Amino acid sequence: MSRVVTGGKRDIVRRLVHAPLLAAFGGLLFFVTRSVPEVHGGLWTITAIGFLLLAGTLTSELIEPLGLPHLTAYLIAGVAAGPHMLRLVDEHTVTLLSPVNTLALALIALAGGAELDFADMRRSARSLGWAMVVQSVSVLVVLSGVFVAMHSMLPFTRGLPVGALVGVALLWGALAVSRSPSATLGILSQTRASGPLTSFTLAFVMTSDLVVVVLLTTILGCVRPFMDSSASFSLTAFAALGHELFGSVALGTTLGLVIAAYLRLVNRQMLVVLLVLGFGVSTVLDYLQFDSLLTFMVAGFVVRNMSNQGRKFVSYIEQTGTVVYVVFFATAGADLNVPLLRQLWPVALILAGSRLAVTWAAARLAGRLANDPPLLRRWSWSGLVSQAGLTIGLSVVIAREFPGFGASLRSLAVATVAINEMLGPVLFKLALDRAGETSRVQAPSFPSIRPPPLES
């Protein structure tokens, strides 16, 4: 009992130290940015990375008694420091931090694939299948209907013919189907959760990426004639989709086998290897027009299921990725367009709330159809609320294909994602806690870097 009291006092003292420390560093950076407002370049980028890392970590310590996930703290720190609030990190610096995002997404996809066990997925194939079908169809249909019902509140849909309005609504429905692998992996990395809910959510969210890409490509090809009278239905988009999917899977399989062989035969300088994968391979994938998330996810899956190096690989990724994740999510917070969210919040709130309600109802229906255990019936929806980079990326594709209304649709997507990005991680962590799947000892913010034990 005395140890618990002592530990509680230490936590209180630590937070009493962290709060003024965060205020001091924030005040110093605030003074510098006002004194030298046009500072740019490499040194300032490094300063921004350091501050976001520090602010995210200290904020996560301060809000920990509230039971909120660390990811939410990183986002809050980024929003507060971003160009729309305190302006400690400006838009130019956020743009310069994009390489960190590239590395983080690569690590997230590799870790997500390496967490997928084929035997577990095969045992839960019935649950995953029903959930994928019911969630995708329900969210697509209902959110498209809600969008049509609200079209009078959206300036860019007023005056559109019925066919064009339905087409725009279907595109929005496809965006609503997307989930957030980065948020899911961020929560699981912090909580070290394990159990049926964890396994189901991870498998569903990572697999849904493929479903969403196929769904959006199909809808783009079908609705184009409604948007442009001169356009006709074409199979070109499906040919490009086939090239992207099969190429990504093939390259990911090859990459996974190479990583497994390296871990077994060399097993040295893994930090350098992961940096090369995150930066170098991502550049090659962009050039080849392959999907980087799918490629890295397949690579991680191959390492986990076609070798005995899976646990070792995940350990290396966790050691490398902890710091990267803090900067990644803090940068995502800084990149949120707060003025846009204030402008569109009524519509965005209705759309986000409708999506949450449909996700919950669809999960309950799918759970009954698949005869899932009570735990999944009750909480399987919780990890499907978050949205992040994938949704924004898909909205950019729509904006490029339909410049007439695409930019406005993307702005609405950014505002809605901001709500889901803040709410989703909190709901998922709450569900993991209630399900009893979170670890009592959570991952520290700055783990000591030491190699994992060697495996034969």
Residues 211 and 92 occupy one common structural domain: no
Residues 113 and 49 occupy one common structural domain: no
What percent of the chain shows pLDDT beyond 90?
17
- Whether 451 shows a pLDDT value over 60: the answer reads no
What percent of the chain shows pLDDT beyond 70?
86
Residues 142 and 281 occupy one common structural domain: yes
Strands (E), 140-224: none
- Whether 449 shows a pLDDT value over 60: the answer reads no
Residues 7 and 134 occupy one common structural domain: no
Q: Which domain holds residue 32?
A: 2-98
pLDDT, tens digit, 9 for 90 and up, residues 297-342: 889 889 988 888 888 888 888 777 677 778 877 887 787 777 767 7
Residue 231: per-residue pLDDT: 55
pLDDT, tens digit, 9 for 90 and up, residues 254-309: 999 999 999 988 888 888 888 888 888 888 888 887 877 778 888 988 998 888 88
Residues 77 and 226 occupy one common structural domain: no
pLDDT, tens digit, 9 for 90 and up, residues 11-28: 666 666 777 878 887 887
pLDDT, tens digit, 9 for 90 and up, residues 109-140: 787 788 777 877 788 788 899 999 999 999 99
- Whether 1 shows a pLDDT value over 70: the answer reads no
Residue 42: per-residue pLDDT: 62
Asked if residue 443 belongs to a domain, the reply is: no
Which residue's structure tokens are 């499907």? 384
Give me the DSSP letters along 267-329: ---HHHHHHIIIIIIHHHHHHHT--HHHHHHHHHHHHHHSSS-HHHHHHHHHHHHHHHHHHHH
Asked if residue 50 belongs to a domain, the reply is: yes
Own/partner pairs for 370-378, CB < 8 Å, 24+ apart? Answer: 370/126, 370/127, 370/129, 370/130, 370/131, 371/126, 372/127, 373/196, 375/196, 375/197, 375/435, 376/127, 376/196, 376/197, 376/200
Domain at 239, CATH number: 1.20.1530.20
- Between 452 and 90, name the one with better pLDDT: 90
Mean pLDDT of the chain: 80
Asked if residue 450 belongs to a domain, the reply is: no
Residue 228: per-residue pLDDT: 66
For the whole model, what pTM was predicted? 0.72
Residue 3: per-residue pLDDT: 43
Which amino acid makes up residue 391?
T
Residue 237: per-residue pLDDT: 61
pLDDT, tens digit, 9 for 90 and up, residues 335-369: 777 776 777 788 889 999 999 999 999 999 999 99
DSSP state letter for 85:
T
Asked if residue 328 belongs to a domain, the reply is: yes
- Between 104 and 133, name the one with better pLDDT: 133
Residue 378: per-residue pLDDT: 92
Which of 82-91, 248-257, 261-270, 380-389 holds the top average pLDDT? 248-257
Residue 164: per-residue pLDDT: 85
Asked if residue 444 belongs to a domain, the reply is: no
CA dist 100 and 84 (Å) reads 21
In this structure, the number of other CB atoms found within 10 A of the CB of residue 192 comes to 15
Tokens (6 digits) for 310:
């899976």
* Count of domains observed in the chain: 2
- Between 375 and 32, name the one with better pLDDT: 375
Residues 20 and 74 occupy one common structural domain: yes
Residues 45 and 143 occupy one common structural domain: no
Residue 447: per-residue pLDDT: 37
